Structure formats: structure tokens, C-alpha cells
Structure 1
Amino acid sequence: MYRRFIKVFRSDTYVISTINMFESRVTNVGKSVLEYTFIASQESDLCTQHHRVPCIRRFSTGMQAQHLCTASSSPETLLKKLDSALRESKDEEAWKVFNEYKSCYGFPGSCTVSKLITGLSYSSDHQLLHNVCNVVFKIAKEKYELLKHDSLCRLCLALSRAQMSVPVSKLLRLMLQKNKVPTMDVLCSVYMHMVKTEAGTYLASNILVEICDCFHYLSARKSECAMSLKPTTTMFNLVLEACVRFGSSLQGQCIIEVMARTGVVADANSVVLFSYIYGMNGQRDELKLLKEYVDRASVPLARHYSQFYDNLLSLHCKFDDLDAASSLVLDIYRLWSSRPVKENQDLRKSCPVPMGSPYLKEVLKVQVMFELLQKDSVVLVKDKEALVIIENGKLIISSKGLAQLISKYKRSERINELSKLLVAIEKEMGTSQEGSICNDVILACIYTGWLETAHDIMDDMEIANVSVPTRTYILLLSSYCREKMSKEAEALAKQIKRARLLLDASEEMTVSECLSGVVHGSSLSLPAPLTDRLADLTDHLVQATTREDEALSKVLKLNSSIYFFCRAKMMDDTRMAYRKLQALNIQPTVQTFAYMIEGFSSLKMYREITILWGDIKRYMNCGCSLASRDLYESLIMNFLRGGYFERVMEVLNHMKERNMYADSWLYKNEFLKYHKNLYQRLKAADAKNEAQRLRLEHVTAFRNWFEPPSGTLISIRGWFMMKLIE
């Protein structure tokens, strides 16, 4: 073999000279040939039988094809062409000239690069924007000083407008590595476009956390540029609103905590968004703490807080806490008259509000200005009927909210307390008999078929000296007769006589027939005029009856206990609460596992998290809906910290099957943080045992996932030498 090599080497000196020519060409642009690689093509014969000059497909300079530099392609000529194309907005031509220049002379100066990036940022061609982005990343890797901050900011904004969230995220992270980001006004504009999509929302929220981490890092070192990295309230609100819109409640809660740690002051809009996030996660304690301040807000802001009261009332109903729900409803009516018409100056100041139970040793506090509503505030579009609405400029309970309360009071057999609540509301509203809330509730119960419930409320109204229209009595009497409930009909007829209600001729006839036991078909139908409000209340009452879910309140209460225990790092109590949930045969929610993962993670108990992952898979196989991207991301981050790479790949496969976006940059950084040099030199053949071989396989699979191999990379000289030896 050695003699063959020498023979070939001597007889084909022009091959070596060809190699040297390529080395010389690359050296002219400031790079050694050994730094350049190429991808060997299996389809082309790179060395003929006569050892002619090989056909090189492409180099790793990032360009699709290489151009031979000619006398007419001097750097001055190409730069003039490039400048002219950019001034005339000939994007394709500018890109072509830039590629030609780069192939011959490398990257141009920083001014030219900046002009190119800025000029092509206005292009509507997504592929061209993507190409510009790739060039920026390559320049950053080889010579970052060629990049100017302003041009990168323009490119960020252009990419976000084109809904290219992934390149935007890479560019922002590239800038963040240099402790720089666009100005907060520009960054808000970028975020406004990013959060329009689900994947963009996840990337925006992760980058927001990274910006805050960088801010803390620089602040601790008293860096002058630290304040330029502090996000604004609007940025947090944009991300929180998107988290609500896409149902990413766990990520939303993380953003709220980051907001508290960073010291960004929340405004009135933030409070409403908090209420949505806490409502989705079933965290009532946090909302109760906020309510103490919201109750003192001025009249104009109180209208804005209708969604806050709506979310809190919804949680009380889900917890089956009728006492808290009725108390909140009364507060909504009673507090209106005591609210200040002008701004409450005390609430114009920053108020520290605890996040979580006061019984915890360490509780985060978020700074809130409850009377502040910024001009550029985020407007949340509600996608459901509210329980609390604004009518005639005042907050009131809606038909849907009232129907839920009636249904729950009836199910718990507490009609007397419902009547007291209705009487209290009636006094605050001061409406007429026909339009009273008490009368509407009685009529809705009659039309729903709850005749005895309607009769009980009617009796309570009589005791409380609240008048009920005569027509309501007659309608209930007719309904009793229609349902052949003779005893109840007779009792009600006597009650009507005893009350000496004013009756017309037809009503007198109906009462007389019921008392005598003779009922004619014509007397059975005495319809009361149905108003739109009454019809709406009746419909919601029927829906509330059919949608009642007793298991929901139980799992929410257990989740609250699990959340408290995990925050207090009382993991034995957490396990007991989880076992109780299993013993009651209640299906856990995404929040159940998310809280437990957070608790175990805080104590670095990663093995316990692998056991939870097994439970999650079993519940999912049984039909339990636990497929949440927030939950999957939490699992991946903890498995990476614990070194469970097989589990990492399992979760990634679950996400792939469900078309969920995975933030590879985030996972890659977490991997490099804990396992940078893991198994870099170990080969499968050198593994000590089967367990190590399998672990190496999973580590390699994960490395290939975030950095896919691009082919067999070898140096130019190395490839030529191997072919000659062959």
C-alpha cells in the first residue's frame, strides 16, 4: 500500500499542486484550508482513473455554489453593484452580488453588512429574510464585530412581522448573549407580532425569562447596561394575554413569578390577566389577596375589574363554596355605592401583594398599582359568557352566574339561604315587582320544572315581606295542576286566598277549580309573558343542571393542598394528598402533576419525577387528558438536569406526535449547563456494560436531535490523501 501511494504521489504531482492551489485561494481570504470542510457526495466520482482534478461540489462557507473570481469582479466593482442594488431595492440582485463578493473575498466591512441587513429587512420574500438570518448567524460565529445593533433590531422587527418566530427567537438570543436587546419599544412591537401564534408565544415567554435572568445577572454586578434590559409592564401583559388565549396557564404562572422577582410593577390590566391565570390553575388564595385591593378601586376602574370578579366567582362555584360565592355577589352590589368616583390615590402607589398562602415561610410579592391603566394596555377578548357583567354602568351578576348559584343551592338543599341572598340583592337593586330578581328566579324555577323549589322561595319571600306578583302565584298553581300535584295545588290555592291577593275573573276561576278538585284543560295554561332576561335565565338554569361535575371541586381542593405542600417542600404530605386522590378514584389534572414536579425539582429529587412520568403515561392511556406542552417542557427540563436522557427522548416523541413545538435552543442550553462533556469521547464499543451503552445511545440521540449531523465532515487535504491511499 505504501509503495502504491508513493508511485501515485510521484506520477501525479499535478494533483498535489491542485490541492495547494485550493489552499492558496482560501488563504487569500484569511482562512486556512484545514478550517474548511466539504460534504462528500456519494453520487459523483471525485477521482477518475487518470487522477484528474476532482469535482468539488461545495464548501462549508454556507453558499450553494462558489464563484471563480475574475478581473471584472474586483472588490470595488462588486461593492458598487451591491450598493446600487440596495438603493434601487433590487433585493434578489443585491443578494446575488453579496454572495459573489463573499465567495471571492469573504465578508465585506461592517457598514456594507449593515446596509445589506437593513435593506433586505424590508423584503416581503420570506426565503430571502431567512437567508439574511443565516448570514447573520454565520457572521456572528466568525466575526461578530461586523454586525451593528441597529441593523439587527430592524431585522428582528421584519422577521416578527413576517411571523417567522423561530428566526426571531434565535436573533434575540444572539443579541442577548452580548447583553443587548432592542429598545423596549421595539421589543414590544416584536412581541406583539410573536404572540399571535402559539409557537411564537412559547418562544416569547421563554426569551422574556432569559432577558430577566440577564437583567438579574448584570444588576448583581452593578452593570450600567442592566436597566436597558429590564422589561416593561406591557411586555409582560402581552405574554400573559397570549398564555391565557392559548391555555398555557402554567407558563403564565411562571411569567407572573418572574415579574415579581424582577420588580416590574403590574397595572390594572395585569391584575385581570392574573385572575385568568389563577382561575385556570384553580388558585383561589391568590385571587382573595388581590380582591382586598380591587374592592377599593374607583368606579371607572371597577368596571374594568368586572373580569376579575367574574374569574373569582367562577372559582368559588367550581370549589362548591356557596358561602364565598354569595358573599362575593353581595360585595359586588354593596360596594358600588361606597366606591370613590375619582381615583383612589392610595392605589396609585405601588402595593406589594403576596403570591400564595400567608402560612408559607417565603412568599413572593408582586408590586401592583391598582389604579393604573396604561394607554397601551392589552385588551383581552373574552371567549366565554361572563358570570359578572356591566349593565347600566354598574356591575351585576349575569343570568349565567345566577343560574349556577341557584343550581348549587338546590343540589345542596339550602334554598332558605338562596332566598336570603335574593332578598339582599333585591334591597340593593330596588327594582319593581315585575322586574325583580326574586320574581325572575321563581318563574325560571317554574319553567324548569322545579315547582317545589319555586314554592319554597315564594314562602321565604312572604316571610321577608317581599311582594311576589299575583300572576306568578297563578302560574305556579297552573303548573301544579298540569303535573297532577293536587295536594300542593290545594295548599297553594289556600295560601292565595289567605293572602287576599287581587285576582281577575279567570284567576279566580283557576283558584276555585283547584280548591274544588275540578280542573279543566283550559285553566291549565296561564303563560306569563317571558322577557328576554327570564328566557336567558331559564336556559342557563337547564344547562347548569346538566353540566354539574362533583369530581371537579374535589380535585381542585386536593390540588390546592398539593400546591401548598409543594411550595412548603413538605413532600411526604404531598404524597399523602396524591394517594388520597387516587384512592377516591379522581382523575388528576395537569396542575396536579405540575405542582408535584415543581416540588420534587426544588429538592432535586429527579428520580421521583420519573415515577410521576410513569403515572402520567398510565393516566393518558386510560383516556385522561394530560397532554400539555407546559407539563412536557417541565418534564424535559428536569430530566435533563437529572440525566434521564431516555425519558427526555420519550417526552420529545410525545410532543412530536401531538405537533407541539419544542424549544431546542432552551433544551440544548440546559444540557450543556449540566452535561457539556458527557460521553464526548466514549464510543459504544468502549462502554463498560449494557447500561452505559444504552445511556450513551440516548445521549447521542439527544445530541443529534438538537444538532442534527450534516454529513461526514473532513478537511480538503485529508479527503484527497485518503483517496490517494485507496
Structure 2
Amino acid sequence: MLTIKRIGQQFGPYLSADFVCSHNDWYLNIVKVSGFRFLSYGNHRKNDLAVGSSLDSIWKQKRRMDPCNIKWAGSFQFTFSTMTGSILVQARDPSKLSMELDNAIEEKRFEDVWRLYEQYQLMEGFPRKSILNKLLASFAETHDLQWLEKAQSLVESVFEESKHELLEKETLLYLSYILAKSAFPVPASTILRKLVEIEEYPSVTAWSVVVAHMSQTASGAYIAAELILEIGYLFQNNRVDPRKKSNWPLLAMKPNTTVFNIVLVGCLLFGTSRKANELLEMMPRIGVKPDSSSLIIMAHTYERNGHREELRNLKRYIDDDCKLGDLQFQQFYNCLLACHLNFGDLNSASHVVLDMLNKANKARESLASATVTLQDNGTSKFSSSNLNPNQNPGIVTEEGLVHAQLHGVSAQSYEEFCRDRKYKSLEVEVHEMLNMLLAKLQLRVDLVTSEYGILQPTELLYAKLVKAFLETGRIKDLAEFIIKADKGESPVSTENSTVIQVINTCISLGWLEQAHDLIDEMRFAGIRVSSSLYSSLLKAYCQAKKPLEITSLLRDARKAGVQLDSSCYEALIQSRVLDKDNKGALDLFKEMKEAKISKASNQEFEMLVKGCADSGEAGLMAKLLEEIKEGQRVDCGVHDWNNVIHFFCKKRLMKDAEKALKKMRALGHIPNAQTFHSLVTGYAACGGKYTEVTELWGEMKVLASSSSMKFDQELLDSLLYTFVRGGFFLRANEVIEMLEAGNMIVDKYKYRTIFLKYHKTLYKNKSSPKFQTEAQLKRREAALVFKKWVGLY
């Protein structure tokens, strides 16, 4: 609407301007222009309107102009003539511009689309609903970063102006789906949250595919977990009455087992196992029942978090459940054994291994008898010779997963997305992505293997067990275990037995006393020890110059009737000569001659070691050497005390948790991130314990500077939540700095919501009060910094 008034007189319904008249001068003040563009032309003096001057400059400067002539230049064009020049005001028809925008969208001319949209937005605001949604869908279909960002910014501006009724639910869902598929988890989750906020609830089948794509990255998996916790909170403790018809759209959004499994696996793959534990605790609260995959995911979560009792309880249930497949049993026993090793429970671990070997022997016997029966009946189709364990269809490789990711399901067009009302194709895509994530989890199983469906311990498991026995000095228990394990294993040559390889490894590492003790234990058990072991140990004693041990070992070898080889005698003779024991050297030489020992037999041990090193498959000896040389000794006490502290915090017995922490430190165990995470979440659950968390934060910073403790995302996120909830913004900003320094993802939407919920009116007035202490000033500044960080200031 543009009108011109001169001394109160109105000249027309289309042009609006105010003229103030003095004796000789006319002033033009253009108040409002809608649907017009301004052109200026002519020669201007220094103080006159510049060419292309903006409307703002006209408003601000109110240039002096000579008596004005109004010239009509068409139905939508006006010319303001002055002595110094003219300003042309030309209008464009909004309906025509809208038509051009629609045509540009149809023809996929996205540069023109955005230019026309900006022009229309300046004239009339947002275009009508159909064109706006069409524009967003076309931008999403490009999968291009530039247009996806523009689509996201457009959605944000619509919500900022509270005009979300212009956006259709299907359009927002499709945009969220494409953003997640294009690895933009933050904007994808923001759109889903906005849908929930305006009560346009998407069905779980639709939003689960968004979560599935988000869970492919570390940051996306973390935000996906936060999203499920937020949605799950709506359904906790039967808050939604399913009998009311008005609640049906909300109930259709309720998370199901599949979406929980997807996000749980994502958390496990990217190391946020404590967030996975929160999800597991949420499942029974909203009535979600676990399936067979959920049970295995539970096992992984309990093992990572050190919840051994929960894992034992789960074992009782899994042993009675026949619905699990071979690979699922393999994963469960891998988790169980890893947990036993982390806690230093070698008795339980060795018992599981021996039980596994016994069951494997029985299964082999059954397989062999079944094969013989089939062959007698003229059927060799199912014989074990025709089976190849490496061709197990359930086993996946990293190469196969990479190929599956590169050739995954292509994204649907917007038309296909809208046509599939029940989201059947999305449901198929979700299950494919879940299977891919589960396959990645299966690749991390390294302690248990499966052959023809028979579970067997791997060499890495043996290496970890042997290392743990040796580190704790339990030589007798180790000997008993490896002797029983040798009996339970499938037949192997004497040189390749577990006992021989363990002793050889001890000798090569210089653990001569342990090797000698193991040989003694075997001799006491009535097992004949190979002469190569005595020879290699004697040579090692000679090099270490330990004459007493040499004498003792020689006596044991003679009692056992073991004949030493020539290389061993040579090493003994050389040792006696170096000790200036010439008589002893001569006696050994005579003994060697009388025994007629051939020099051809002195390569037995060297050949054994070389064969182990050169073999295509890494043997037990190589694995054990690798494990021991890593030098990472597990502090089992930390796991034990973390378990105790977690139990007290879960029951909200914080005084007992504090006592347990003091006892843990008194015993010399250093708390880690998991210890502090349990305490922080425990204090937060109790409510109002913000001062205690602040003190704990100070202890953590001191500990991190003086030890190897590292802050992980889960710990920092729990701290940030507690500080924001309690209004401790100085501490919250410290945590934010640490998160950003570590390039960790921060869910700003979550913290903006928390701030608006609990501190909406805090420091709303931008001007600071006249009288305030230095502490009050710091708190105010910290709060304003936080508000600016979350986009509220």
C-alpha cells in the first residue's frame, strides 16, 4: 500500500508518503512500501539521493526535495520527479512471482528458486503452504549440502515466526530423513523434536529410519540416544492412556524394540556404553520387551560397564533360551569371558573355557557319529568333509560391510515417500541397517570362535588367561588349567600343545622361574615333558648365569629320564668354563660322548619357535607374546569398586557411595571416568545435590592434571546437565570449553530446552543492576555467555 498525503490530502489508494510543507522547501518521507522496488536516476548533488539508495537510507536521511511531480508510468509504476532527479517505484505482482517460483521448482532451477523465494519473502513473507512444502521437498531431493542447509534454515525461520502451520508433517519427516542419510544428525534430530513440540507426532516406523541413519556416526548415535530418552520420557510409567482415542497418534510414536536395538548398538560401537545402559533402564519403564538381539546387546552393555551380576543373571536366562543362534551364543560367551577377565576372576573364566571344550568334544563326537550313519545309508551330502567353516553364511567380514554400505538402499523420492503411507519400504530399510550394525558388533568378538556351530576358545583368550595367571603368581592353578585344556582340546601334536607353547613363551620372555615351576607341576601331574623344554630352559639359565638353578634342572631332567641334546651340553660346558669349573666342564663332555648324542638334534626348539612365527595363523605363543609385550595390566580392583559405587548410586545411597570412594582411594585404586559418572548421575537423581557435584568437579580436574584419567563425553555431558539444571553457569561454561576442546558433540537443543524450563526468567533484563557484588556480576556474565551459546541472547 503506497499513498501520498500532502497537508492531509490523500492522492490515491496505492501510494503512501508524507509531505511536510514549509515556505519554500518540500520534504519527502516515504513511510511504507509494500510490493514495490525503488529505482533512482538522474544527476544528483553530493547531498542528494545516491543511485541505488536503499529504502532505509531514504527513511534515515529524509532528503530535501523540490516540489514534486507525480507521473503515472503504468498501473504499477510511479515516478517521483525532483529538480535533482527522479525515483522510480515499480511494483511486481506477487501472484506472478509465485507462479515463477512454482515453475522454477518444477524445472529444478534451484538458483532461480532461491532468488525468487527471497524476492517473494521480502514482499509478502513466506509463500503459500503448497509452494513452501514443494520447495523444501525439492531441496531435500538434491542431497546437496548447499540446498539442504538452505532448507534447514528455512524451516528454522518458519518456526521462529511461529508459522509452523505452513509446514506439512510429511515434508518435515522427509527432510529429516534426507538430512540423517546425508550425515547431518543435528538438524535431522531438531526437526523430529520440533514435530513432537507442535504435537505432529510421527509414527515410530517413520522416525526410526532417521535414527538408524543417525546411528552410523559417533555424534549421531549419541544424539539419537538423547532423542529416544526424550521421547521415551513421554510414555514412562503408563502416562499415556491407550483407551483414549485422542492419544492414538502419540502412541503410534512410542519407541519399539527395533529402534532401541539400533541406538543401543550405535552407542556400543562408538564407545558410549553408559548411555546404552540408560536406554536399557528405559525399556521396562515404557513397556518395551527385549528380543533375542536385545539380549545379546544387553550382554555387551553389561560387559562394557562392568555389571557382572547382571551378566550372570542374564546367563541363566540365555542358557534356557533356545531361540538364540550360534553367532549370538558366541557373542554372549565372549562378553561373559571378557567380564571375568576384567574382574580378575580367573577361576570362573577357566571354568567357562573348560566347560566349552567339553561341550565341543561331545558335539564333535555327535557330528562324527551322525556322519558315519549318513554314509552307511548312502548319504554323504551332509558329511563334515563337505562343510567349510569359513563359508558360514552368518559370518561377516569388514570388506562385506564396506560393500554393503557403499551399495546400500538409495533414498526415496518425495513422491514415493508420501505414497508409502504405512512406511513399508522404510521398515525394510530399518531392519537392513540394524542387521548391518549387528554385523559390525559381531566383528569385535575375539575371545570365542564358532566352527560348525561349536563354540571354542580362541588363542587370544588362552593368551589373556595365561598372562593373568602368571601376573598373579598362580602357577599351580595355571598348570592345572592348561593340562585340563589340553585333554579337552582336539588332538594336536605334542610340540603344538598349549602347555608347551606357554612354557616356551615364558622362556622367551625371560620368566625362567615361572617356566621351571610349570615344568615341575607337569612332572608332579605325571605328564612327560619334552626334552626340548629342558634344553631351552637350561640354555636360558646358562645365559642368565644361574648355576644353582642349572644344577636343580639337570637333576630333575635325569630323574625324568630326559636326554639332553648336544646344543644344551655345549651351553652347559661353556657356562662351566666361564665359571672356571674346568673339571665340571670335562665331566659334561665325557657324559655327552658316552651318550653318543648327535648334533643333528639341537634344532628342535628353534624350529618350533620359527614354525610358530612363520605360520599363517597366529599361534598361542605369538598371541601370548603380543599380550605380554603390550604391558597393559588390568587393575581389577577398579572394576570391583566401580561396581560397588554404581550399586549405591543406583539405590541413591550417596553416603555409602562416598565411603566406598574413600576406601577405593585408600587401597591405592585411582577412580576413572566411570566412577565419577556414577557419582554425578547419583547426585543428580537425588535432586538438589549440586554443591556436591561442584566439589566433585574440582577433584576431577585435579586428578586429570596429575594422572592419566581422561574425561569422556558421557561424563562431561552428565556434569553439564547437572550444572545447567542447578544454575551453576560458571561451571557449565568450563565443561563446555572442555567438550569443545575435545571436539565432542554437544546437544545444544537439549540444553536450550533445559534452560527455558528451569531458568526462563533469569537475567531477562539486558541492563545490569546498579548495585551488585563481584560474585553476582560473574554469575550474571556466565549466565549470559551460556544463553548466547544456546542461542537465546
**2:225/2:279 contact within 8 Å kept:** yes
Aligned to 1:412: 472
3-state DSSP of counterpart to 2:255: coil
2:651 aligns with: 568
Q: CA deviation at 1:95?
A: 2.8
Correspondence for 1:91: 110
Shift of 1:444: 2.8
Q: Is 1:597 matched up with 2:658?
A: no
Q: CA deviation at 1:488?
A: 4.6
After TM superposition, the structure 1 = structure 2 runs for residues 93-172 of structure 1, keeping only pairs within 5 Å, are 93-140=112-159, 141-172=161-192
| CA-atom RMSD in angstroms | 4.0
Q: Which residue of 2 aligns with 1:448?
A: 509
Partner letter of residue 460 of structure 2?
A: K
The Cα of 1:613 is off from its aligned counterpart by: 0.9
Which residue, out of 616, 635, 638, partners 2:719? 635
Question: Contact 1:69/1:104 (CA < 8 Å) preserved in 2?
Answer: no
**Superposed CA offset, 1:193-215 (max 9, x none):** 32333322222221121121234
- Post-superposition Cα deviations, 1:662-709, rounded to whole Å, max 9, x if no partner, equal 211111111111122223247422455444443332222222221264
Structural mapping, 1:202-601, within 5 Å = 202-216=222-236, 219-222=239-242, 223-296=247-320, 301-336=325-360, 378-381=438-441, 386-391=446-451, 393-434=453-494, 435-466=496-527, 468-480=529-541, 483=544, 485=546, 487-489=548-550, 491-493=552-554, 495-499=556-560, 516-518=587-589, 526-527=604-605, 528-530=607-609, 531-532=611-612, 536-547=619-630, 552-601=635-684
CA distance in 2: counterparts of 1:623 and 1:489, whole angstroms: 44
TM-score normalized with structure 2 length: 0.71
Identity %: 29
* CA distance in structure 1 between the aligned counterparts of 2:700 and 2:283, rounded to whole angstroms: 30
Superimposed CA distance per residue, residues 7-31 of structure 1 (whole angstroms, 9 cap, x where no aligned partner):
x995589878622x348999xxxxx
Whether contact under 8 Å (2:531, 2:564) holds in the other structure is no
| Counterpart code for 2:125 | G
1:669 paired with 2:730, answer no
User: 1-side partners of 2:93 and 2:669: how far apart?
Assistant: 75
Could you tell me whether the CA contact under 8 Å between 1:475 and 1:526 is conserved in 2?
Answer: no
Higher relative contact order (CA 8 A, sep 6+): 1
Question: How far off its partner does 1:421 sit?
Answer: 1.4
Contact persistence 1:297–1:339 (CA under 8 A) = no
Distance 1:550 1:509 in 2: 38
Contact 2:212 2:434 in 1 (8 A): no
* 2-structure distance, mates of 1:487, 1:134: 82
Post-superposition offset of 1:417: 1.2
Cα distance in structure 1, aligned partners of 2:784 and 2:196 = 28
Q: Which amino acid aligns with 1:517?
A: L
- The range that moved more, 94-103 or 542-551, is 542-551
SS at match of 2:440: coil
Question: What residue in structure 1 maps to residue 30 of structure 2?
Answer: 18
SS state at 2:623 partner: helix
- Within the candidate set 694, 700, 707, 1:610 is matched to 694
Q: Per-residue displacement from partner, 1:111-149 (whole Å, max 9, x unpaired)?
A: 222222222211133222221222223334432222111
Distance 1:425 1:299 in 2: 29
Distance 1:650 1:681 in 2: 24
> Is contact 2:729-2:779 (8 Å) kept?
yes
Could you tell me how far apart the structure 2 residues matched to 1:292 and 1:555 are? 26
Q: Does 1:50 align with 2:121?
A: no
Query: In 1, distance between residues paired with 2:280 and 2:27?
Result: 65
Deviations 1:608-663 (A, max 9, x none): 00101111111122243332221111111111222212111221122222222221
Quote the Cα distance in structure 2 between the aligned partners of 1:413 and 1:555.
20
TM-score of the aligned structures, taking structure 1 as reference length: 0.77
Which stretch shows the higher mean deviation, 628-637 or 137-146? 137-146
SS in 2 for 1:224: helix
**Cα distance change of structure 1 residues 180 and 443 upon mapping to structure 2, 3 Å threshold:** farther
Change in Cα spacing, 1:106 to 1:14, as seen in structure 2 (3 Å) is farther
Deviations 1:63-114 (A, max 9, x none): xxxxx99666341x33433333223222222333333333333333332222
- Which residue is equivalent to 2:75? none
More deviation, 583-592/43-52: 43-52
Q: What is the Cα deviation at residue 509 of structure 1? A: 7.9
- The 1:638–1:509 alpha-carbon spacing in structure 2 relative to 1, beyond 3 Å, is closer
Partner Cα separation in structure 2 for residue 101 and residue 87 of structure 1: 17
CA–CA distance in structure 2, aligned partners of residues 339 and 98 of structure 1 = 71
Q: Which runs of 5+ in 2 are unaligned?
A: 1-17, 38-53, 67-87, 368-432, 574-583, 593-597
Read off the aligned partner of 1:156 and give its amino acid letter. Answer: S
2:542 and 2:572 in contact (8 A); partners too: no
**Which amino acid counterpart does residue 221 of structure 2 have in structure 1?**
T
- Corresponding residue for 1:368? none
Question: 2:780 matched to 1:696?
Answer: yes
